[in-house]
Structure 1
């Protein structure tokens, strides 16, 4: 009986020591990349193992934490990416008073060596202490955190620079509902229901894999014009409860946030 009690106690302790990744802790969902708050304040997060390291990239600062020599935390000012011409590869050159770091982010499927989780970006880090001659090289996986402000329902107000009216569509204004945590959207195109995926990186937003129902639309319905503009989007801005979608050529769509 004593042995059974000891075994149960050991199992209980082991369960208590498990990672909280993917679980809710004090109202926040955590993952291998951190908490929801981390994802809201950082546009890109990455981690690696053996030794463990973490990277959090925000608009104001970039923070690198590792267990290379004890617990090391390095803070760098934010810098612009150096972009490759022929591939989705970005390089960041970071430096402060004590260290220099080169971060390379490549759009390539990456598997965490411990959890087995699949991420869309491969990340490599070269870190050099200013007092040392050689840099340490680390590999890991990462992801862009889609702007949480997009997570809402948006109703169309302008299309290709012109105000829209209900008479431009079947029965009501087009709308999209964006799920930023799943990078998906659904809504109404002005005649048919629509849905699809969003691709997000810092400063980049694309609506892709757009599908719709096949209801016949009345003559003059501008659904086709709307969906074409949606799929031509590359950038966005949010201000005064308005979501503006654009590309380098023009402002395409303006939506109003609704509850």
Structure 2
């Protein structure tokens, strides 16, 4: 009888273990197929990568300034100048700035039937008294109504709004009028760059090395500054050197037909880039 009880307990424990094993889910084994699917997913995700969205609001103005004590705001458009104060919003037709010969200072002198307005924009670092935000330009505005005796003076900080059309990925198509190819750059990719107006910077490939730098932008002015690059050596680096010299020598630009044309005062179309996204 004792032997029968012992045998029954053993059988009971055995079937209990079997049931537990059935309930426990087994982890799928890694296979070559799953690894391939993962690789495909990564490649798809890389292809979907896009330019960083433009962070600022695009309203068509090319210069903005603000100030405190009292609060005011200025916007300059191609077709108008808009000054907003605590009491009023003044809109005037645009005018060409008067530029200083020996420094980066521009003055807009505007006179209408109702308004006398002088705007001085100086390329001098400026700190907002309330927020502490630093801007590259100091702005002084003198305003009074025509026939009035009181002149209001506003002081504050401002910045040019970099052309949103530059915010893209560009591949070199022509250099000094000649079409370029990979063979010109030792079979590697042709120079290309990503321009980011959120931080006024650019980065890319110059033919042999990686490069990066900053943008200097004012209305109708574009310069590629503070250019730094890696120091790899490649055969026939003359083309890369020629490209970097042309890039840093450009001062003006034009965007049309998905092309970015860079020129300077004496030579047009130093470089022509094609938009690729």
**TM-score using structure 2 length:** 0.78
Q: Does 1:173 align with 2:190?
A: yes
Q: Given the alignment, which residue of 57, 69, 94 partners 1:36?
A: 57
- Point out the structure with the larger strand share: 1
Aligned to 2:125: 109
CA distance in 2, matches of 1:131, 1:28: 44
What residue ranges of structure 1 are gaps of 5+ in the alignment?
1-26, 30-34
CA contact (8 A) 2:54 2:198 kept: no
Which residue of 112, 133, 141 corresponds with 1:96?
112
Which whole-Å deviations, capped at 9, do the CAs of 1:91-118 have from their partners, x for residues lacking one? 0012333211100000111111111111
Q: Is the partner of 2:165 in helix, strand or coil? A: helix
The correspondence for 2:254, drawn from 237, 240, 252, is 237
RMSD: 1.5
Structure 2 unpaired stretches of 5+: 1-52
**In structure 1, what is the equivalent of residue 29 of structure 2?**
none
Match of 1:61 in 2: 80
Instruction: Give the alignment of 1:64-213 within 5 angstroms.
Output: 64-67=83-86, 70=87, 72-170=88-186, 171-213=188-230
1:52 equivalent to 2:71? Answer yes
Counterpart Cα distance in 1 of 2:128 and 2:178: 48
Superimposed CA distance per residue, residues 113-143 of structure 1 (whole angstroms, 9 cap, x where no aligned partner) = 1111111100000001113123111101000
- Secondary structure at 1:182's aligned position in 2? coil
1:37-73 deviation line (CA, Å, top 9, x unaligned):
33xx111000111111100001111101101xx3x01
Distance 2:237 2:125 in 1: 44
After superposition, the C-alpha distances for 1:13-60 in whole angstroms (9 at most, x for unaligned) are xxxxxxxxxxxxxx996xxxxx6133xx11100011111110000111
Q: Which residue of 1 aligns with 2:231?
A: 214
Give aligned pairs, total: 223
CA contact (8 A) 2:208 2:237 kept: no
| Aligned-residue offset at 1:219 | 2.0
Query: Secondary structure in 2 aligned to 1:223?
Result: helix
Name the residue aligned to 1:253: 271
Determine the structure 2 residue equivalent to 1:20: none
Q: 1:258 to 1:143 in 2, by over 3 A?
A: same
Q: Give the structure with the higher percent helix.
A: 2
Distance 2:121 2:66 in 1: 12
Normalising by the residue count of structure 1, what TM-score does the alignment of the two structures yield? 0.83
Distance 2:229 2:181 in 1: 21
Structure 2 distance, partners of 1:49, 1:210, is 36
Instruction: Report if aligned partners of 1:100, 1:129 keep a CA contact under 8 Å in 2.
Output: yes
Alpha-carbon contact 2:125-2:135 (below 8 Å) kept? yes
Distance 2:234 2:244 in 1: 14
Describe the SS at the equivalent of 1:222.
Answer: helix
Q: Which residue of 2 aligns with 1:22?
A: none
Question: If you compute each CA radius of gyration, which structure gives the higher value, 1 or 2?
Answer: 2
CA contact (8 A) 1:168 1:222 kept: yes
